[in-house]
Structure 1
């Protein structure tokens, strides 16, 4: 096995530019209008609000924690088990970021509207997208390094498989490298690696899509309002029946607890009061008439 030239890489700095204020801004936006919660807590038979909450929570974890992952090499050329684990943690954190952003797009903008699905601008692989190439990096450096189907993320039509060595940060070519061993006896080991700078660019580009998602939250609410404005509310001369209609419309258009829910339910209960006492009945009836819709 021939190793590359050694280089002084005692410290690899994670200078990833992920500002946790952005996910906080997105969280504030979705909590800004209770109508948004109502639209997604029961949507097409599913609680999609919970999907949004999960994605927000993990984006917060990644944005606030990833710079604290220690990938400092104190062992020189020797194996560094903790460094390999930290490298895996770093890659998996980026993968969680990616999947969280994708989930938010699926909920807010439909299944196929994630805008970077075919992007190749970071890793510049001719045959596969950045997302697919990153998934290969994730497989090699963390999720299943002992069972790989390709060396570059492109599966060949044969039975060759590959198995990764532990990762190291001391080879010249990359910030982190492994050797990929083939199950074919005649095949040489293949070096595979990544540079932190490219991974950072990849993560930042996807994390910054939160700016677009913030705008989509506003669009979702405005579209809902515009669509409901086009639907006429039925009229009924019976005050109680009319209130029942208005209560239902308020629930569908806004919420069962917000909008005009309190006022409408108050009037409904008021008009349903049945007064038997002759002394108070004229006064109560007059009050009902004054408050009738």
Structure 2
């Protein structure tokens, strides 16, 4: 099976699902009151399990009983892939249709000519291990014999289908492994069709939101409040949300120390291009790394000297738990800056945060 299917395809599909600022998650985590993203994850997981099993499956054993169970394992793996593909189709393409419905391309000498490939595969699955003693075919109960090597060119294995009815003739169902593998590859390759649909859905989502103009505010803080709402609506990207939240803290902070007021005003002015860049990117639905990222405004060597304290400090700022070492962090900040920024734990958290940003932005 090593050259029949590869997990590259499902891995690439998974990467697509998780890309574009988690577009699929944002749209399908609550689709009409249903968490379809969880379904998508389950389908991807079982496709991965099945494909990797097939990639590593051993050659068929010469012992007929062992071979029969290997065949059943093959059929079960194909069924898991097939069912997952069907459900992914329903999530992303059309919930009211099934892919390949009505097609008769994979199985040539089928016992039941009225069945399409999808249905005939289910018949094979039932007869070769899924429920061989509970079959319903041609308006009669039937029971499958144990599989045996086929004596005809029509297949690799054969089962007899016994009837419950007296004097009803047995039927012979032949299994051709190459036909099974063709059924597998056509269904697995359908992931490419679904992937194209996801790309189209994302493009349409981008186009739709990019046409919805973001309100412009003259006041930076009011603009940030607007951007916070828009960011959550436009893919809810953690990176952009974090930048906006930090900017809101900075612009909400009011510095009263006379020596720090002009410094704070200049620092806030330097952030205006970042606010405009965020607004532009959200408007265009172009969620990429920001050229004016606020982290680029770190000029001081203190970022290295205080690396431990700063990491813990910012964790406290963005978290919801008190850090009993906060006094120590602020004392360290005051010590290395000779008290220039007057860090005090009695200040509002957004003011302490702004002072830390000012400290890192200055060339001391």
1:199-221: CA deviation from partner (whole Å, max 9, x where unpaired) = 11111111111222222222121
Equivalent in the alignment of 2:68: 84
Q: Which residue of 1 aligns with 2:115?
A: 128
Determine whether 1:267 maps to 2:254. Answer: no
| Correspondence 1:162 to 2:142 | yes
Partner of 1:177: 158
Residue equivalent to 2:222: 241
1:229 aligns with 2:213: no
Q: Distance in 1 between matches of 2:59 and 2:141?
A: 29
Q: Which structure dedicates a bigger proportion of its chain to helix?
A: 2
Post-superposition CA distance 1:36-65 (Å, at most 9, x none): 233333433333233222222222222232
8 A contact 1:73–1:169 mirrored in 2: no
Q: Which has the larger radius of gyration?
A: 2
Alignment gaps of 5+ in structure 2: 276-364
SS at match of 2:149: coil
Q: How many angstroms does 1:229 deviate by?
A: 1.0
> What TM-score do you get using the length of structure 2 for normalisation?
0.66
Q: State the superposition RMSD in angstroms.
A: 2.6
Residue number in structure 2 paired with 1:149: 136
Secondary structure at 2:75 match in 1 = helix
Tell me, yes or no, if structure 1 residue 51 matches structure 2 residue 39: yes
What SS does the corresponding residue of 2:159 show, helix, strand or coil? Answer: strand
Q: Structure 1 residue 72 and structure 2 residue 60: aligned?
A: yes
**Contact 2:60–2:70 (CA under 8 A) maintained in structure 1:** no
On the 8 A contact 1:145/1:163 being kept in 2, the answer is yes
CA contact under 8 A between 2:221 and 2:251: conserved in structure 1? yes
Over 3 Å counting, the alpha-carbon distance change for 1:24 and 1:287 in structure 2 is closer
Q: Tell me which of the two structures has the higher relative contact order, counting C-alpha pairs closer than 8 angstroms and 6 or more residues apart.
A: 1
C-alpha separation in 2, matches of 1:116 and 1:188:
32
Structure 2 distance, partners of 1:188, 1:216, is 48
Q: Cα 1:250–1:175, aligned 2, differ >3 Å: closer, same or farther?
A: same
Deviation at 1:278?
A: 5.1
Query: Per the alignment, do residues 139 and 239 of structure 1 end up closer, same or farther by CA in structure 2, a change over 3 Å counting?
Result: same
Structure 1 unmatched runs, 5+ = 1-13
